[in-house]
Amino acid sequence: MADALLIGNETTGESGNSSNFHYLSRFQAIANGNNVTDFRVYCSGAGNIKANIYSDNSGEPNTLLSANNIGTSVVSGWNSIIVPVVTIISGTWYWLGLNADAAIVRRNNTGGTIRYKSSTYSTFTAPDPAGTGFNTDSLNMCVTLYGESGSGILIPTIYSISDPTIINNQSGITILGSNFN
């Protein structure tokens, strides 16, 4: 299954965010994702980024769903950051967050909702829950989540097999069997 855009902003932005801040941008998922395979961020230069994903509670960042607290080196352009697997549900609101050690993350200066507060990159670990004390603005970071687009539910294909054999169904699952009815 090919990777698809699940959530986020694919534009390259107008300006950059400051370093040493925990930024969270609110987005509504546009597709279901069985496995997030890519947290992508658009940068204007080189640096390091820690990425995180939070649930939404009435328009505020809430429970930590996934985080890369080790950090990833990035360069100018689109960069991929590995985060632990999380399931995304279409129509649900999420907060995509990050903290960078340089002023390199691109953003759009209008549209969207962002929360931010000072947080030193070198000691930053994504908190759970997100907490309070965030400033608010109408910005939108250039971040996306890509993954396998699907229903989020695996529906098996049932076969009738009269001889012992191996079958590969559309899900890529191998079934070993004999006399399945």
Residues 78 and 18 in one domain: yes
Query: Distance (Å, rounded) from C-alpha 86 to C-alpha 83?
Result: 8
Check whether 15 has a pLDDT greater than 80: no
Residues 163 and 113 in one domain: no
Q: How confident is the model at residue 176 (pLDDT cuts 50, 70, 90)?
A: very low
pTM of the model: 0.80
User: Which structural domain, as residue segments, surrounds residue 134?
Assistant: 3-149
Question: Among residues of the chain, what percentage have pLDDT more than 70?
Answer: 81
Residues 56 and 79 in one domain: yes
Kindly state the average pLDDT of the residues 25-38: 85
Whether omega for the bond prior to residue 61 falls within 30 degrees of 0, making it cis, is no
Kindly state the average pLDDT of the residues 84-108: 92
Query: Distance (Å, rounded) from C-alpha 27 to C-alpha 140?
Result: 9
Q: What total number of domains does the chain contain?
A: 2
Check whether 167 has a pLDDT greater than 60: no
Q: How confident is the model at residue 25 (pLDDT cuts 50, 70, 90)?
A: very high
Kindly state the average pLDDT of the residues 156-173: 37
Residues 75 and 135 in one domain: yes
Residues 83 and 172 in one domain: no
Computed over every residue of the chain, the mean pLDDT equals: 81
Check whether 94 has a pLDDT greater than 60: yes
What is residue 35's predicted lDDT score, i.e. its pLDDT? 79
Residues 160 and 129 in one domain: no
Kindly state the average pLDDT of the residues 157-162: 37
Residues 145 and 161 in one domain: no
CA distances from 174 to 122, 157, 158, 167, 180 (A): 45, 11, 12, 6, 14
Residues 85 and 132 in one domain: yes
Query: Distance (Å, rounded) from C-alpha 8 to C-alpha 172?
Result: 29
Kindly state the average pLDDT of the residues 103-131: 92
Q: How confident is the model at residue 174 (pLDDT cuts 50, 70, 90)?
A: very low
Q: How confident is the model at residue 156 (pLDDT cuts 50, 70, 90)?
A: very low
Query: Distance (Å, rounded) from C-alpha 75 to C-alpha 46?
Result: 4
